[in-house]
Structure 1
Amino acid sequence: MAAAVERAWPEADLSGCVAVPYGYGLDCRRIRVREAGHPVPDANSLAAAEEILATVTDLGPDDLVVALISGGGSATICLPAAGITLADKQVTNRLLLASGFDIRTMNAVRQKISAIKGGRLAAAAAPARVITFAISDIPGDEAEAIASGPTAPSGAEIDFDHVVEVLGPQLPEPVRELLASPARPVKADHVDPIQVIATAKGALAAAADVATEHGIKPIILGDAIEGEAREVAREMAQKALDHTGPCVLLSGGETTVTVGNDKAGRGGRNTEFLLALVVALAGRRGVWVLAADTDGEDGSNLGAAGAIAGPDTLERARQAGLDPAAALAGHDSGSLLASLGDLIVTGPTLTNVNDFRAILIMPHERG
C-alpha cells in the first residue's frame, strides 16, 4: 500500500512511516518501513507506534495524513495506554488469541488499552485532514475494527466485565482496571470516512469467476462466517454432503479456536477447520477442501497459510500412524497436515482479507 502511494504521489511533499509484520517489508524511498511483531506485539511494535505517532504530531490545517490500514496493525503498532506496560499488552494479547473471542471483541479490548488505537492516532493529527484507505480482515468490514481502528473511534458495545471474567486471573491488574473504567471520548471531526478498498467479499467474487470459467458452479456461503472452527467445519461438511455438484462452496470470515488452559500444538484456525471437516466427511469421495488465511500465515507457529485435503486424507493419516481425533483434541492439526505434506506455504502475500475456504464437489466421484 505504501509503495503504491509512492508511485502515485508527486515527488515532493511526501514522507511517513508504516509498520508491517516481519518479512513483509518492501523497499520504499520516501516512506520508512518498519517490521515488528505479529500476532503478539514486541519492542519493535512499540518503537513503530511511537515513530508513527510522532510523524502526525504538530501538523497544521493545510497538512494531509493518508492512513493505510490493514489487518495485523493491532500487533505491529502497539503503544500502551498510561499505566500499562508492553508486557501487560503482550500477556493480554496472548490471552485474547486463545480465548475464542471474535475479532471485534479482541480489537475492542486492544483499543481501550491503547494510546494510538480507537481513533487516537487520528486525534493526534488534528487539525490536519486524515484520509484512510483500509484492507478489511474483519467480518462485515466494520472499519473501526480493522487493526483496532487507529483512525476510527470505536463504536462497539462490549461487555468488558465478561471479557475480564473469561480472560481469567492471568490478566494483568492494570488492564483489568482500565477495562473497567469509562470510555475516553476521541475527537474525529477532521477525519474523513474510511474507504475500504479490498474485502473478503471481493476475494470470493474473484474465486467465483474462476470457478465459472472452469464449468464449476460457485456457491458463496458468506464472507463473514464466524464461530468455533470445528463447529463451523461440521456445519459445512453437512452442506457439502447435501450438494451433488459440480460445484464449489466458497466462504470467508474468521473462525476462532478456544484453546483453554491446555498446551496447544501447531496450527491455526484454518488447519483446525480443515481437519475437523475431513473427520466429518469421513472420506467421502469427490470432495476436496482448501482453507487458508489470505495473509499467508495461519497461526504464529505454523509457517503456512493453511492446508488442503481430499477424499484420501483420512486414510493417508491412518496409514502414517496418525490420529486425526487426537490431533484435533490437542489443537495440533498443523502437525498432522504437515506430516502428510498437505500444508499450503505461500510466504507473505502482502495483503489480508481474512480467511478463504473452498470445498470442491465433483459428482462423478461420489459414491
Structure 2
Amino acid sequence: MTAISPRDILRSLFDAAVAAAQPAQALAAALPPPPKGRTFVVGAGKAAAEMAAALENLWPGPLAGLVVTRYGHGAATRSIEVLEAAHPVPDAAGQAAAQRLLALVGEAGPDDLILALISGGGSALLALPPPGVPLADIQTLYRLLLASGADIAQMNRVRKHVSGILGGRLAVAAPKTPMVSLLISDVPGDDPGLIASGPTVPDVSDRAEAQAILASYGIDPGPALRAWLASPLADTPAPDHPAFAGKQVRVIASPQQSLAAAAARAAALGLAVLPLGDSIEGEAREVAKVHAGIARSIRQYGLPVKPPCVILSGGETTVTLRAKGGRGGRNAEFALGLAQALNGLEGVFALAADTDGIDGTEDNAGAFVTPETLTRAQTVGLSAADFLARNDSYRFFEALGDLLVTGPTRTNVNDFRAILLE
C-alpha cells in the first residue's frame, strides 16, 4: 500500500469523484448541433453557473439566457446571466428567478433551441409558489420536509406539485420549441424527473401521492397548500402532454461515474475496492452502522475483500431532527454515527462528504473519522452519543479539527463515502 497518509488518500478519492463530475468535462460530448434560430440557455442548481461557463467555451455560436444557483456558487460568464438564491429553503430571489426563466422560454420559437442546464438544488432555487400560496408557506413546507426524514424522492414528489415551474412546467412554457435538458444527477437511480424536481421533464406522479407523502410524515402544509393540493391544477404535466414532443433529456454526469473515478484512483494506489453502489438511502446513523459492520467483517475475516482496501458508496441519506439547536448535515451525521459504531476499530479511517462542498447548510463538505476519534473526543470532554442525540455533528468534528472544508465545488453528484482499511 502507498505511503500516503490515510487522510490524504481519502481526500484524493473525494477529489477524483468531484473532478469526474465537473461540467466542462461532462458537457463536451452531450451538446446538440446549433439551431437555425437562436439558442436560449436556462438553468438551475448548484452546478448551473459552472455549467453555463463551460457551455460558453464549448458552443460554436451565440448564446443568451440566465441560470440560477446557490449563493456563493456563481461562476464568471460572458453572455449568460447568473443569478443567486437561497438553498435549501427558498427565498424571494429564487421566486423572481423562476418567473424570469418562465418568461424567457416563452420568447423562444420553433426554429430556436433551449438548452436547460439542470443540477441538484434546483428544487429550492426554483420554488415558485402556485397561485394563492404565499412564499412563506412554501418555505415552511420545505423546512418541515427537511426535518422529517423523508428521502429525496419523496421530497421532490411533493415539491413538484406545489410549484409553478417544477414537474415539467418549465418545458410546457415553451410548447413548440426544441429543448435539450443537460442534467447532472444527484439522486439515487438518476431519475430525470427527480433531479431538481424535473422542471423540464414530464411527471408520472399525481397530487394524491404528494398528499399521501405529507400525511405519512405528519406534515400539515397549511390551509393554502391544502386547498391547492385538493385542486386538479396541482397535477403536473404527464408524459403524453404535447409540449414534450421534440424535447430531449440527457444525464451527463452521475454519482456512479464519480464513484468509478474514485475507484480507479484507489486501484492506482494499490487498494482493493468494495463498491456498495450509488443509491444508498436511509437514516444516516443507521446507514453508518451497516457500513461499520462491513468494515468489521473485513478487519476480522478478510471478507468480502482483504485489506488494504476501501469501501465506496454514494446516494443520499436522511436525517430526522431529534433536537433543536444542533448543527451538521447528513454526511457529518453519518461520520459521527460511524465513529460510534466502529468504536475505535484499529486501522479504519473514513470520509463522508457532499460532492457539492456543502453538507446541509454548513460551511463544510463533510468530516473525517479515525480510529482515535472517540478517544480524542473523550480527552476534551466530548461525548459522541450526546452530540449524535442532538444532531450536533458539526460541532463535534469542528472541536476535533476533523471537518473537511472545500468551499463550493460547483458540481453536485450527491454524497460520497469512503472507508479505508489499512
Instruction: Specify the TM-score bucket, using the shorter chain as the normaliser.
Output: over 0.9
Are 2:204 and 1:155 aligned? yes
Amino acid at match of 1:335: R
In the alignment, the residues of structure 2 paired with residue 111 and residue 341 of structure 1 have an alpha-carbon distance, to the nearest angstrom, of 39
The answer to whether the Cα contact below 8 Å between 1:111 and 1:118 also exists between their aligned partners in 2 is: yes
99-108 vs 159-168, which moves further: 159-168
The correspondence of residues 23-102 of structure 1 with structure 2, limited to 5 A, is 23-102=72-151
Structure 2 match to 1:341? 401
Are 2:297 and 1:242 aligned? yes
Secondary structure at the aligned position of 2:416 is classed as strand
Secondary structure at the aligned position of 2:367 is classed as strand
CA deviation vs aligned residue, 1:243-270 (integer Å, no higher than 9, x gap)? 131110000000000115x314000111
Q: What runs of 5+ residues in structure 1 fail to find an aligned partner?
A: 363-367
The answer to whether the Cα contact below 8 Å between 1:112 and 1:178 also exists between their aligned partners in 2 is: no
Amino acid at match of 2:159: R
Q: CA deviation at 1:9?
A: 1.9
Secondary structure at the aligned position of 1:125 is classed as coil
Structure 2 match to 1:365? none
Amino acid at match of 1:185: P
Amino acid at match of 1:255: T
Are 2:214 and 1:164 aligned? yes
Q: What runs of 5+ residues in structure 2 fail to find an aligned partner?
A: 1-50
Secondary structure at the aligned position of 2:334 is classed as helix
Structure 1 match to 2:263? 208
CA deviation vs aligned residue, 1:172-222 (integer Å, no higher than 9, x gap)? 222223334442435343343310011110111001001100110011001
Q: Which residue of 387, 391, 403 maps to 1:327? A: 387
Q: Which residue of 239, 243, 257 maps to 2:319? A: 257
In the alignment, the residues of structure 2 paired with residue 169 and residue 277 of structure 1 have an alpha-carbon distance, to the nearest angstrom, of 30
The answer to whether the Cα contact below 8 Å between 2:106 and 2:173 also exists between their aligned partners in 1 is: yes
Structure 2 match to 1:185? 237
Amino acid at match of 2:313: S
TM-score (norm 2): 0.82
The answer to whether the Cα contact below 8 Å between 1:40 and 1:75 also exists between their aligned partners in 2 is: yes
Secondary structure at the aligned position of 1:151 is classed as coil
The answer to whether the Cα contact below 8 Å between 1:70 and 1:137 also exists between their aligned partners in 2 is: yes
Structure 1 match to 2:162? 113
Q: What CA RMSD, in Å, does the superposition of the two structures yield over aligned residues?
A: 1.5
Q: CA deviation at 1:85?
A: 1.5
Structure 2 match to 1:269? 330
The answer to whether the Cα contact below 8 Å between 1:295 and 1:353 also exists between their aligned partners in 2 is: yes
Structure 1 match to 2:7? none
Amino acid at match of 1:256: T
129-138 vs 184-193, which moves further: 184-193
Q: CA deviation at 1:80?
A: 1.0
The answer to whether the Cα contact below 8 Å between 2:202 and 2:236 also exists between their aligned partners in 1 is: no
In the alignment, the residues of structure 1 paired with residue 211 and residue 250 of structure 2 have an alpha-carbon distance, to the nearest angstrom, of 32
Q: CA deviation at 1:83?
A: 1.7
In the alignment, the residues of structure 1 paired with residue 60 and residue 142 of structure 2 have an alpha-carbon distance, to the nearest angstrom, of 39
Change (3 A) 1:308 1:100: same
Q: CA deviation at 1:27?
A: 1.4
Are 2:334 and 1:282 aligned? no
Amino acid at match of 2:54: A
How many corresponding residue pairs? 359
Structure 2 match to 1:316? 376
Are 2:248 and 1:198 aligned? no
Q: CA deviation at 1:169?
A: 6.0
Secondary structure at the aligned position of 1:20 is classed as strand
Q: CA deviation at 1:168?
A: 3.8
